[in-house]
Structure 1
Amino acid sequence: MSTTVDSGLTVAWDITVDDAPVALSARGDLVAVAGAEGTVRVLDAAMGAEMGALELPGGALSVELAPDAGHLAATGPMGYALWRRKDGRTTVRESGAWSAAAAWADPVGVPPAERSRGWGRVAVASGRRVLVLDADGEELWRTDPAASTVTDLAWMRQGRRLAVAAYGAVHGHERHTPKPVVTYPYVGSHLALAVAPTGKWICSGNQDASIHIWRTRDGSELTMSGYPEKVSRLAFDDTGFWLAADGAPDVTVWDFSGKGPAGTAPRSLRCHETVTALAWRPGNGGHLASGGADGTVALWYATAGRPQQRLIPARELTGDGAGVAALAWAGPHLLIAAYRDGRVRAHGVPSRTAL
């Protein structure tokens, strides 16, 4: 039964899991919660009821549901695991290689022959390589080793190109090409990778407290430095025109419309002393959710105002003190927040035109 919280929003459901959450994913009618000790629970997005679970030995770092919500990939320090919704089948690979991230390819880019083996493809970081698997875990191809451990990855061009971040560069691989077909160099450690939905921009958040940007058309590049902390969270909205980043108490939101952010200043969103999560609301309304170590979730009209302007939240949701571990939108009207004490809460959010 829904209850009212002080923000004026409703809580659709509120549960507690017994493994401190580290990551969330929401697709279709499902939400996946990954815990630090390796327990991954799959929940019904509308009610919070458990629909499945798996254990990843060695702990979990990330979790990703496929766009059709029929499969799931979880990664961790010792390997990765795949889960299939229709029968609960779980495939665990204890490779001993650090697996920081996984990403499902867009179905438009999946050849019919591969689609017949199971929906889509998933790219999984495995030490210095990336493994590309079908939905049932059969390896399709793998990249040649990078210079160091792969820290993040993302599909581009509707699943026809794979961007892979490791120390010193972001590499682009075409389908079934172990060697990169394009390299975007940058001397430093990449912590996060964001690719614009338009495919026009690749951005990395870095250990040296910077954001580095490449324009894919010609390889031209730009560095936005001066952040007080390392930049470990980046997120483009659905339009590809707005990039949100941490790296400071303020969330910065950069305008990538037109010729991009060169020579411009970002909007600043101040609510948290330490930013721990970012999630754009689906659609083109410019609505952003952020979470902090103090347990506060803030909702923003993140693209309002002018460059250099400091914005205030449209709403603040209190989390009773436990830090926010992750945020995810289950469609445009349900915001899922996972807290470090094990609570997972679904907030009902008004229509796209309001927060």
Structure 2
Amino acid sequence: MKLDLSRPSWAERLPPRRSVAGDAPVAACAFNRDGTVVAFALGDGHVRLLPADFAAEPPEAAAPVHGGVVLSLIADPSGDGFVSGGDDGRLLRHAKDGSTSEIASYKGKWIEHLAAHRSGVIAAAVGRTAIVVKGDAVRELGPHQSTVAGIDFSKDGGRIACAHYGGVTVWSIGEATLPPRLFAWRGSHVALKWSSDGRFIATGTQENDIHVWRIAQATDMRMQGYPAKVRSLAWASDSRFLCTSAQPVFTAWPFAGKGPEGKPPLQFGSEGAGLMTVVTAVGTSDFVAGGYDSGEVQLGDLKSRLSVVLKMADGSAVTALAWSPDGGQLAIGNERGDLVVLDLDR
């Protein structure tokens, strides 16, 4: 990745932008493992696959694959395509060529959250239950106290964390006989991210704050003062910072050394026209991106604390962001159904 936000060119012009008009709001977007294809999950049942370098006339949309709203989408960790979940209860695998196969089906359930580990394991939230898919084997974990509202793997892929009312439950995947471990905190937890170094689990809560547990010590901390629910969390590549939505600028809590207790968060960037709805970090650098309820998108550098506005506000809230594997492209989706790719290295 060769981005340098101090370059004069960033201040003089926006990066090249390519877009397609979709017909429904975007719930999620993702690049496949080699970065050659980008996919968008839409509210009309479509999973739209586009070449990452698509031209002005991209391929036509295929037929809808879900019977209702597509709620979740991730890159397939064991293939060249994607995995999606919908409010029709179907968990689908999409190959790079657009062909689709069903992994599992849960009639009457919603598959609203997905997670994957580089080992090839997939996890999905299905109502109050989580399912783990490894090869042809499907294992159910739960039921939990309420609908699973967030799901993520540990660094080594051996455990999975599920957010729900009353806290987070951690399950062992490899040792089926081990009892689950509950990290309790009152109230509803609406988002979850396990840190990239495996030491912390963070959640956003119904009470407009975030809660973080140290796994080894089973101690916890609470960070308050948000004007809205924190529904999007992103750890920096080395877990030094936890970035959060629901603020008008980039907000990153420091987790190096003794952690954030007694310290203010790092805040920088141009104050957006509204609040951040989505935040995402590059897995191999210090860059983060934030999307706003006003339609604005910003790119930030946690190291230099520089930022630039990549897409000016257009009134349609940003609902999804995804970096390409090399960090050179950023995919954006919004409530209006715009499918956008920014070429940041050009």
**Same fold by TM-score, threshold 0.5 exceeded?**
yes
The equivalent residue for 1:110 is: none
> Relative to structure 2, which stretch is displaced further, 184-193 or 53-62?
53-62
Select between 216-225 and 81-90 the one with higher mean Cα deviation. 81-90
* Aligned counterpart in structure 1 of residue 322 of structure 2, from 328, 332, 335: 328
Which segment is superposed worse, 205-214 or 10-19?
Answer: 10-19
One-letter amino acid matched to 2:274: E
Report deviation, 1:303.
Answer: 4.2
1:247 aligns with 246
Distance 1:277 1:106 in 2: 23
RCO comparison, higher one (Cα < 8 Å, 6+): 2
Q: Does 2:58 match 1:59?
A: no
Unpaired segments of 5 or more residues in structure 2?
Answer: 1-8
Matched, 1:140 2:135: no
Give deviations 1:106-135, integer Å, cap 9, x for gaps: 21xxxxxxxxxxxx2211111111111235
Partner residue of 1:318? 312
Where does residue 214 of structure 2 map in the other structure?
A: 215
2:44 matched to 1:37?
Answer: yes
SS where residue 38 of structure 2 aligns?
Answer: strand
In the aligned structure 1, how far is the partner of 2:220 from the partner of 2:204? Answer: 14
Structure 1 residue 19 and structure 2 residue 15: aligned? no
For 1:95 and 1:33, the matched residues in 2 are separated by: 23
Question: Equivalents in 1 of 2:90, 2:234: separation in Å?
Answer: 23
Letter in 1 for 2:340: R
Report if aligned partners of 1:249, 1:274 keep a CA contact under 8 Å in 2: yes
Residues 229-254 of structure 1 deviation map (CA, whole Å, 9 limit, x = unaligned) = 11111111211111111233344111
- Separation in 1 of the partners of 2:68 and 2:12? 38
Q: 1:299 to 1:7 in 2, by over 3 A?
A: farther
Post-superposition CA distance 1:50-76 (Å, at most 9, x none)? 597752223122211123552422223
Indicate conservation of the 8 Å contact 1:287/1:301, yes or no.
yes
Query: Does the C-alpha gap of structure 1 residues 303 and 266 become closer, same or farther in structure 2, counting only changes over 3 Å?
Result: farther
Aligned equivalents of 1:314, 1:86: Cα separation in 2: 33
Which secondary structure does the structure 1 equivalent of 2:156 belong to? Answer: helix
Distance 1:336 1:189 in 2: 30
CA displacement at 1:30 relative to structure 2: 2.0
Match of 1:117 in 2: none
Q: Secondary structure at the match of 1:140?
A: strand
> 1:113 — aligned with what?
none
Gaps of 5+ in 1: 108-119, 306-311
Q: TM-score, normalised by structure 2?
A: 0.86
Please, which moves more after superposition, 243-252 or 201-210? 243-252
CA–CA distance in 1 between the matches of 2:161 and 2:22?
34
Answer whether contact 1:213 1:222 (CA < 8 A) is retained.
Answer: yes
Q: What does residue 343 of structure 2 align with?
A: 348
Of 104, 117, 124, the match for 1:105: 117
The alpha-carbon distance between structure 1 residues 272 and 199, as it changes in their structure 2 partners (threshold 3 A), is farther
C-alpha separation in 2, matches of 1:7 and 1:346: 19
- Indicate the percent of aligned positions where both proteins have the same amino acid: 27
User: What is the alpha-carbon distance in structure 2 between the residues aligned to residue 72 and residue 178 of structure 1?
Assistant: 31
* Letter of the 2:40 counterpart: V
- The answer as to 2:124 corresponding to 1:93 is no
1:30 aligned partner, one-letter code: V
1:163 corresponds to: 161
CA deviation digits over 1:47-104, x for unaligned, max 9? 2645977522231222111235524222233323212416713216242123220111
User: Given that residues 54 and 83 in structure 1 are in contact (C-alpha distance below 8 angstroms), is that contact kept between their aligned partners in structure 2?
Assistant: no
The question of whether the paired residues in 1 share the 8 Å contact of 2:76 and 2:93 is answered with no
Partners of 1:328 and 1:335 within 8 A in 2: yes
| Pair 337,69 (structure 1): closer, same or farther in 2 beyond 3 Å | farther
11-20 or 196-205, which deviates more: 11-20
Query: Offset at 1:314?
Result: 2.6
RMSD of aligned alpha carbons: 2.5
**Take 2:314 and 2:204, find their aligned partners in 1: how far apart are those partners?**
30
Distance 1:347 1:273 in 2: 21
In the TM superposition, structure 1's runs of 4+ consecutive aligned residues that sit over 4 Å from their partners are 4-7, 48-54
What residue in structure 1 maps to residue 198 of structure 2?
Answer: 199
Provide closer, same or farther for how the CA distance between residues 276 and 7 of structure 1 changes in structure 2, counting only shifts above 3 A.
farther
Aligned to 1:277: 278
Judge conservation of contact 1:255–1:261 (CA < 8 Å) in 2: yes
TM-score with structure 1 length normalisation?
A: 0.84
CA contact (8 A) 1:9 1:347 kept: no
Counterpart residue identity of residue 338, structure 2:
R
Q: Label 1:10 to 1:124 Cα distance change in 2 as closer, same or farther (>3 A).
A: same
Residues 23 and 33, structure 1, Cα contact 8 Å, conserved in 2: yes
Query: How far off is 1:192 after superposition?
Result: 0.5
Residues 144 and 178 in structure 1, CA contact (< 8 A), matched pair in contact too: no
